[in-house]
Amino acid sequence: MEEKKYLKWYNKVGYGSGDIAGNVVYAFLSTFVLIYLTNTVGLKSGIVGTLIAVSKLFDGVTDVFFGAMIDKTKTKMGKARPWMLYGYIGCAVTLIAIFAIPENIGETAQYIWFFIAYSLLNAVFYTANNIAYSALTALITRNSKERVEMGSYRFIFAFSTSLLIQSVTIKFVSLMGGGAAGWRMVAIVYAVIGLAVNTISVLAVKELPEEEGAKVKKEEKYSMREAAGLLFSNKYYLMICVTYILQQIYSAMLSMGIYYMMYVLNNENLFPVFSWAINIPLIIALIATPQLVTRWGGLYKLNLTGYAIGTIGRILVIPAAYYGSVPLMLLFTAVAAFGMGPWQGDMNAVIANCSEYTYLTKHKRVDGTMYSCTSLGVKLGGGLGTAITGWLLEFSRFDKKLSVQPDSCLNMLHMMYLWIPAVLCIVITILMSRMNVEKANKELMVHTER
Residue 311: pLDDT band with limits 50, 70, 90: very high
At 218 the pLDDT is 45
Q: Is the pLDDT of residue 20 over 90?
A: yes
Q: Is the pLDDT of residue 120 over 90?
A: yes
CB-count burial class (<10 Å; 0-12, 13-18, 19+) for 434: exposed
Angle at 365 (CA atoms; ends 362, 370), nearest 5 degrees: 95
Q: Is the pLDDT of residue 367 over 80?
A: no
Listed range (69-83, 172-186, 284-298, 310-324) with the worst mean pLDDT: 284-298
Q: Is the pLDDT of residue 165 over 80?
A: yes
DSSP assignment of 95-139 equals: HHHHTT--SSS-HHHHHHHHHHHHHIIIIIIIHHHHHHHHHHHHH
At 371 the pLDDT is 65
CB-count burial class (<10 Å; 0-12, 13-18, 19+) for 269: exposed
Angle at 13 (CA atoms; ends 357, 239), nearest 5 degrees: 25
Range 70-73 contact pairs with CB under 8 angstroms and sequence separation of 24 or more: 70/131, 70/132, 70/135, 70/368, 70/369, 71/227, 71/365, 71/366, 71/367, 71/368, 71/369, 72/221
pLDDT in tens, 379-390: 677 778 878 888
Mean pLDDT across the stretch 189-207? 94
At 374 the pLDDT is 62
Query: pTM value?
Result: 0.72
Mean pLDDT across the stretch 89-110? 94
CA dihedral 132, 136, 137, 142 (to 10 degrees): 140
Q: First-to-last CA distance in the chain?
A: 21
The DSSP symbol for 196 reads H
Q: How far apart are the C-alpha atoms of 212 and 138, rounded to whole Å?
A: 12
Share of the chain above pLDDT 90, in %: 37
At 216 the pLDDT is 43
pLDDT in tens, 27-40: 898 889 988 998 89
Task: List all residues 6 or more positions away from 244 whose beta carbon is below 8 Å from its beta carbon.
Answer: 347, 373, 374, 376, 377, 378, 381
Mean pLDDT across the stretch 1-21? 83
Residue 215: pLDDT band with limits 50, 70, 90: very low
CA dihedral 294, 300, 303, 306 (to 10 degrees): -80
At 211 the pLDDT is 52
Residue 49: pLDDT band with limits 50, 70, 90: confident
**Residue 442 vs residues 145, 168, 342, 436: alpha-carbon distances, Å:** 17, 47, 22, 10
Q: Which residue has the higher pLDDT, 273 or 367?
A: 273
Q: Is the pLDDT of residue 69 over 70?
A: yes
Q: How many residues does the chain have?
A: 450
Mean pLDDT across the stretch 360-379? 70
Q: Which residue has the higher pLDDT, 104 or 315?
A: 315
Q: Give just the sign of the alpha carbon dihedral 307, 361, 374, 64.
A: negative
Q: Is the pLDDT of residue 114 over 80?
A: yes
Q: How far apart are the C-alpha atoms of 202 and 196, rounded to whole Å?
A: 10
pLDDT in tens, 129-149: 988 888 887 788 878 778 778
Q: Is the pLDDT of residue 221 over 70?
A: no
Query: Is the CB of residue 317 less than 8 Å from the CB of residue 333?
Result: yes
At 146 the pLDDT is 82
Quick one: fold of 18-206+223-449? Growth Hormone; Chain: A; (1.20.1250)
Compute the mean pLDDT over every residue in the chain, rounded to the nearest whole number. 86
CB-count burial class (<10 Å; 0-12, 13-18, 19+) for 21: buried
At 425 the pLDDT is 96
Q: How far apart are the C-alpha atoms of 336 and 281, rounded to whole Å?
A: 9
Share of the chain above pLDDT 70, in %: 92
